[in-house]
Amino acid sequence: MLVKWIRCTVVDRRGFERGQRKWAGLPGEPGFRGQGGGWSRRRPDVAHVVAFWESRAFYDSFMARSHDRLAAAQVGTFKDAQVKLFEYRFDVKTGFEPRFTDSDLLRIALCRVHEERVEHFTLMQEKVWNPAMAGSPGMIRGMFGEAPEQEFLILSMWRAAAEHGKYRTERIERLALRAQTEADIAALSGDIVDLEPSWTV
């Protein structure tokens, strides 16, 4: 499965949201699996969208054929767009599927990992972080994806902000020490996103 992450700074919120509804045409596209997104909790003008495709071939075909027509409605409503593609590697918790309807919050973590630490980082994700997240009340599902240049995407969906907040305060520091996260990661960025139900496709 291919995962596309888009982050942009919105300059015309109403126009952007109107354009976002045009993506409702995606389910007719071969290989499309799901899309959702919303507004950053930290920066109200920043929007995140995550889309899932069965494979790179299906995604490339969509980009060549229909993408520009659907995207036209949002031209001029945002700036500073960042787009990255990741290959799905494994679930965080079990049974990941690209559904957004049962969660309110999306946590996005982007990690660039030192080349010689990639194997260790991936192993710690499976053995330390995944069980901790999976055991947290309110964590619904998640996934771990990989891009070239030792970049990784960790997505987790949560029922509510309060439940994600509890997981953060109680456990993150302890887990980071155990997983030696600081030694693995060259750069870390991320965001917490309030999902917008009307953006879910």
Q: What is the pLDDT of residue 189?
A: 94
What's the whole-number mean pLDDT along residues 5-12? 98
Query: Does 170 have pLDDT greater than 80?
Result: no
Domain harbouring 78, CATH code: 3.30.70.100
d(C-alpha 125, C-alpha 119), whole Å: 10
Q: What is the pLDDT of residue 173?
A: 84
Provide the domain limits for residue 43: 2-199
Q: Sorting pLDDT into bands at 50, 70 and 90, what band is 49?
A: very high
Task: Give this prediction's pTM.
Answer: 0.94
Q: What is the pLDDT of residue 136?
A: 87
Helices (H), the chain: 13-20, 56-65, 67-71, 118-124, 130-134, 161-179, 181-184
Query: Does 171 have pLDDT greater than 90?
Result: no
Q: What is the pLDDT of residue 135?
A: 87
Q: What is the pLDDT of residue 64?
A: 97
Q: Sorting pLDDT into bands at 50, 70 and 90, what band is 139?
A: very high
pLDDT in tens, 18-43: 999 999 999 999 999 999 999 999 99
Query: Does 169 have pLDDT greater than 90?
Result: no
Mean pLDDT of the chain: 94
Q: Sorting pLDDT into bands at 50, 70 and 90, what band is 94?
A: confident
Please list the residues that pair with 9 across neighbouring strands.
46, 79
Q: What is the pLDDT of residue 69?
A: 93
Q: Rounding to the nearest 10 degrees, give the CA dihedral for residues 147, 152, 158, 164.
A: -160
* Weakest mean pLDDT among 92-96, 113-117, 124-128: 92-96
Q: What is the pLDDT of residue 95?
A: 86
The domain tally of the chain equals: 1
Tokens representing 197 are: 């139900």
